[in-house]
A and B are shown apart, each in its own frame.
Chain A
Amino acid sequence: MAKQVVQLDRVIIRFAGDSGDGMQLTGDRFTSETAMLGNDLATLPDFPAEIRAPAGTLPGVSAFQLHFADHDIMTPGDAPNVLVAMNPAALKANLHDLPRGSDLIVNTDEFTKRNLQRVGYEESPMEDGSLEAYRVHAIPLTSMTVGALKDVDVTRKEAERAKNMFALGLLCWLYHRPTEGTIAFLEKKFASKPTLLRANTIAFEAGWSFGETTEDFSVSYEIKPAPVRPGQYRNISGNLAMAYGLLAASWRSELPLFLGSYPITPASDILHELSKHKRFGVRTFQAEDEIAGVGAALGAAFGGHLGVTTTSGPGLALKAETVGLAVSLELPLVICDIQRGGPSTGLPTKTEQSDLLQALYGRNGEAPVPIVAPRSPSDCFDAAVEAVRIAVTYRTPVIVLSDGYLANGSEPWRIPDLDALPAIDPAFATEPNHTAADGAAEFWPYLRDTETLARAWAAPGTAGLEHRIGGLEKQDGSGNVSYDPANHDLMVRTRQAKVDRIAASIPPLEVDDPGDDADILVLGWGSTYGPIGAAVRRCRDAGLHVAQAHFRHLNPLPDNTEHVLKRYRTILLPEMNLGQLALLLRGRFLVDVISYTQVRGMPFKAAELASVIQEAATDE
């Protein structure tokens, strides 16, 4: 008899298990099937910094949360509707997030006395009544997987390792996900290992069939596709979008891409991705350290190529002196900082927005650097293109501030039309641009475009334009070394003025204020866009008049920033740091911005933010 099918508008699933249980892979696969189905979605991988923490322990728990819906959504969701717990540690680490009444799928095989003790359970929560508030599905996932594979020639360990595919199959049945993509994925992954291919495929199908036949699940769920703008879509993570954005900007500017980088979490995937694309002429260089990574990128930029370096907070600190040199040389350079929890080594796999002030001010001397911050995983593509546009047009280093949440999170993305990318013109100097006192034509590297203040850029190999540049202060125009006090004052102010002028090329700060009568403006920058947006929606649904504005450019700020700030009596600024942008806005505009901060290594939850907004709005 066919089971009942219930229509849902949205679901949040969290897969949790040991680092070795393949939870990230399971989550990725479920995400792909969900994307193909046309649901809107957002994901949040959450994994430990250790590659394999001791099995079965709390520090070793790895989780993947996926929010999907029949309408447009902005975050991976606050609390799961379904928790898949592959062992007691995963249950213990995640249960507090699970609202009462939710579905809890538990792999009972792992609930042995030893595993329970390891995480401090005196008694099994499966038996002591502590899970009575949940709809518990106690399933011996491991032994059922092993049973399903009894005719396949794999070791017991290999059979057990396929249990994540069993779980995936079950969830695919439960939420009517297509299965072809996963089968195709397994065929590719295990192309050279036919036995493992068979084992994983059988486990996956067995999980699906189990859902179909077991009486434990009386209903299954359907979530209709979300209505979105027409077009071709794919699912994409932030780091992949960043890599593609750099490639697209290289194509657009006709500058060959050079990436100098040193491996660091959570930025390394950009290096991995770009190293695959040699056919585009991309040169990736894994340097001996962070300093050499940015140094080599700057060397490539001097050579007339698109120099890029990728890093995270600790690496940005090491690169500071070279970024300062790039400020002085006035060469294009893009520094992608995928922020993580700090200070020091901090929380390598967790997210934070605490490098803003480092990016703005973390250099000796007056060394202004433009900053661009993407707001969602797919927006990393556009942010990368924008960073290249500014760097090349204005001959300046540019810092992109992404973070761990954007880097590893994913969402559906309308594939862009390359023709819609902004023009990026290196406009290399090819001729002398100055006449010497004796009438000879010569090249002055520090003569500037009157509009952008960008200096003339001549790459080696251009005859007649030979010149020397360096980190010493140089004479305005000629670029020769100069220690003249008035000239230094002029050059410091000119470098600042050049960065300020970028504001003329960026859009104004857009305010979303539907009734134009909001009592409160909620500001943000970077990856908080989703949670703030979701929270603002909740507040509006509850009848509050709330405006939202989100910064993409942190330096320079859009020209209308002050105007926007002065329009609202109450301004709330949530940040995943201790109030860095709030400090800047208060200092610069004398506006009493209310700072709301959290540094928990995780994105804000929409419900929490909604109550913060509500409180701030009604305090007046």
Chain B
Amino acid sequence: MNSPAPGFGLIAAAAGKDSHVDPLAGIPTVDEPLKTKDFKTDQEVRWCPGCGDYAVLAAVQSFLPELNIRRENVVFVSGIGCSSRFPYYMNTYGMHSIHGRAPAIATGLAISRPDLSVWVVTGDGDALSIGGNHLIHALRRNVNLKILLFNNRIYGLTKGQYSPTSEQGKVTKSTPLGSLDVPFNPVSLALGAEASFVARTIDSDRKHLTGVLRAAAHHRGTALVEIYQNCNIFNDGAFELLKAPDTRDDAVIRLEHGEPIRFGADGQHGVSRMPDGTLRVVDVAEYGTKRLLVHDAHAPNPEVAFALSRLADPSSLNTTAIGVYRDVHRATYDDLLHEQIAAAVDDEGSGDRPVLEDLIAGKDTWHVDA
């Protein structure tokens, strides 16, 4: 007697209907609340002391219990790189796969198993260089995945080459005279790839990080979360401008849905939309508050979110917006596929044995007698 395949028969349960109301629809919930320690493994964490990855791991482990979903229904899939060791430290199901391919592997898993909460852990090299194709297509399809992109603007595990998010002119082992290529802005890229959820946060700001993770978890569809993460060995201080007490208030724009966009220690800076459609940082004292841009993460059109992503200086990252850029409801690939399957079963009946026999026999048969 074969044991039944897990998740077989959950097709109907997860097929779309309630997903707008409950983004976690289809995932079994716990009877007893879980704790942070339930998500820790016995494996020794092997990141360098002082690495930003520790902060992200701690935030994820302490935030997951609040989702009230079963631990055995959570899966972390990663690629290759420092951050991709993440699944080994999560006491859930997990796969440490190959370079760049985690979104593809996680897509197959999420499509097959609507009863799972599937998370992808990746880095700037993994997601934006070798795996760039899989990332953009996952975003376009809107598969129900949460993608945590740890961006440290460097290749750490291979010991310090420049990455697709390194600033132009970056001097590294592979670019002794400075890198020649212009970096990707992951938020701009994701918005251009039709992402339904895009956010950015910083490893050292636990509260902000947790808030963004929470929003991502409650988004049904692909959620891309870019996490600025410090590599203290090969690119220490890459985000210092956004972190240091004396510079961060003027350098970081915190996005809050429904709020006018202001920043600076006293909210003295603001963002406004110019008559030509571009966004500009303005002096609020001079400009007033009435014409400040009110952030709308649910705007159907991603144009303004894209413009916000362009405020950051590509090199220094000055005036970088963090928070949820975009969070819109769009049917997910997996829900649509399961609706097609459910419709086929409704219209034609379930594919049981007699149906299979009819199919294999086909319409043009002949009989040969003994």
Contacts and interface: CB of A to CB of B under 8 A. Distances in A.
Asked if chains A and B come from one complex, the reply is yes
Nearest to A251: B356
Nearest to B100: A291
Residue from the set B92, B94, B108, B360 with the largest chain A CB neighbour count within 10 Å? B108
B141 to A, nearest CB: 9
Given A181-B364, A233-B368, A254 B337 contact: no
Given A248-B360, A283-B112, A463-B70, A254 B2 contact: yes
Interface string A271-310: 0000001111101010111011001111111111101000
A427 B5 CA distance: 10
Dominant secondary structure of chain B at its interface with chain A: mixed
A165 to B, nearest CB: 19
Given A279-B344, A296-B108, A468 B93 contact: yes
Given A233-B367, A428-B6, A481-B88, A461 B101 contact: no
Residue from the set A231, A288, A300, A468 with the largest chain B CB neighbour count within 10 Å? A468
Nearest to A428: B3
Nearest to B91: A466
Nearest to B75: A460
A32 B364 contact: yes
B350 interface: yes
Interface string A445-489: 000000000000001111111111111100000001100000000
B4 interface: yes
Interface string A425-458: 1111010000000000000000000000000000
Contact of A418 (B98, B101, B356): B356
Given A296-B107, A299-B105, A302-B105, A322 B364 contact: no
A299 B77 contact: yes
Contact of B112 (A235, A256, A287, A481): A256
A533 interface: no
Interface residues of A, number: 79
A225 B108 CA distance: 48
Contacts of A425: 2
Nearest to B133: A288
B275 interface: no
21 contacts: A32-B364, A36-B366, A233-B366, A256-B112, A258-B108, A285-B108, A291-B134, A292-B101, A295-B107, A296-B107, A298-B105, A299-B107, A300-B109, A300-B111, A300-B112, A418-B356, A460-B73, A460-B113, A461-B7, A463-B71, A471-B80
B101 A428 contact: no
A462 B3 CA distance: 12
B6 A459 contact: yes
B61 interface: no
B72 interface: yes
A527 interface: no
Contact of A231 (B28, B76, B91, B367): B367
B97 interface: yes
Given A254-B2, A287-B104, A302-B109, A461 B98 contact: no
A231 B370 CA distance: 8
Interface string A324-338: 110001000000000
Contact of A468 (B88, B109, B116, B349): B88
Interface string A235-255: 110000000100110010111
Given A277-B351, A303-B6, A325-B97, 16 more contacts: A232-B365, A234-B366, A235-B364, A247-B360, A254-B4, A279-B344, A280-B355, A283-B341, A292-B137, A299-B107, A300-B108, A303-B109, A305-B113, A418-B356, A418-B357, A461-B73
A35 interface: yes
A302 B7 CA distance: 12
Contacts of A234: 361-362, 364-366
Interface of B: 2-8, 11, 28, 41, 43, 70-73, 75-77, 80, 87-88, 90-98, 101, 104-113, 115-116, 133-134, 137, 337, 340-341, 343-345, 347-351, 353, 355-357, 359-362, 364-370
B88 to A, nearest CB: 5
Given A258-B112, A461-B116, A36 B101 contact: no
B343 to A, nearest CB: 8
B228 to A, nearest CB: 26
A614 to B, nearest CB: 35
A229 interface: yes
Contacts of B6: 303-304, 428, 459-462
Nearest to B1: A425
A306 to B, nearest CB: 9
Contacts of A416: 360
Nearest to A229: B368
Nearest to A412: B366
A228 interface: yes
Contacts of A285: 107-108, 111
A410 to B, nearest CB: 12
Contacts of A283: 111-112, 337, 341
B5 A279 contact: no
Given A303-B113, A461-B115, A244 B341 contact: no
Contacts of A207: none
A461 B76 CA distance: 13
A299 B11 contact: no
A228 B367 CA distance: 10
A611 to B, nearest CB: 35
Given A230-B369, A466-B71, A470-B87, A292 B104 contact: yes
A462 B107 CA distance: 20
Given A295-B134, A305-B112, A480 B370 contact: no
B76 to A, nearest CB: 8
A321 interface: yes
A296 B366 contact: no
A5 interface: no
A464 B92 CA distance: 9
Contacts of B72: 460-466
Contact of B134 (A255, A292, A304, A430): A292
Contact of B356 (A248, A260, A278): A248
